[in-house]
Amino acid sequence: MTAVATDAPVVIAPMRRRHLRGVVEIERQTNHRPWSHGLFAGELRMPTSRIYVVALVGSVVVGFGGVMLTTVEAHLTNVAVDPTQHRRGIGTRLMLVLMRGCIEREVDDVTLEVRLGNHAAQELYRRFGFAPGGIRPNYYADINEDALIMWAHDLRNDTTAARLATLESGLDGQLWTDGF
């Protein structure tokens, strides 16, 4: 991984093929069953039913996230941040852009699965209005761990808009976006 200045601005941009090397490297570091370059490339070929973004510091990918759209529902497929870049608000920035993208596409509800033991990720999702909706037993079979199913319902309302505005106002600096 290329060294990244921790005081440099983070820019959120649409994921492009040129970003995939960095995306796959972060995926390899953060996921016990990482997606392949080919899988991400396939997702990018479906722009009408997918939203994929990257967090960049300069030209270096420091995080990414994605959503699969299915009519008025969406599934958060993944959010990951380079472990050397944790605690900078990058996950929050990615989630803000993804959730706003869902709202712009008239999505009402978003779901996701998260490892039952990943309390930091669960807390991030709770800040965005996600609440537990069930358990998928042994969802992560290779590591023998259950998944917590979480849902955020009724996104297109004033409560969600206020929540997103509050989260954005709590960021250090501006929510920099490029290409949206």
140 is catalytic: no
pLDDT of residue 173: 77
The catalytic residue among 27, 43, 52, 113 is 113
Question: Cα(48)–Cα(168) distance, rounded to whole angstroms?
Answer: 26
Indicate the fold that domain 11-171 takes in CATH.
Aminopeptidase (3.40.630)
Is the pLDDT assigned to residue 1 strictly greater than 60?
A: no
Q: Which of 27, 43, 125, 140 is catalytic?
A: 125
Tell me the pTM: 0.93
Q: Residue 74: its pLDDT value, please?
A: 98
pLDDT exceeds 90 at position 71: no
Task: Extract the tokens encoding 78.
Answer: 């993944």
Within 20-132, residue ranges assigned H as helices are 20-30, 37-44, 90-104, 119-127
Q: What is the pLDDT of residues 79-127, one digit of tens each?
A: 999 999 998 999 999 999 999 999 999 999 999 999 999 999 999 999 9
Active site residue 113: yes
* pLDDT at 70 exceeding the cut of 80: yes
User: 124 with 153: CB under 8 angstroms?
Assistant: no
Per-residue pLDDT, 3:
63
Query: Which residues are 70's β-sheet partners?
Result: 73
Angle at 80 between CA 147 and CA 128, to 5 degrees: 70
In tens, the pLDDT along 153-175 reads 999 999 999 999 999 999 987 77
- Amino acid identity of residue 29, one-letter, is Q
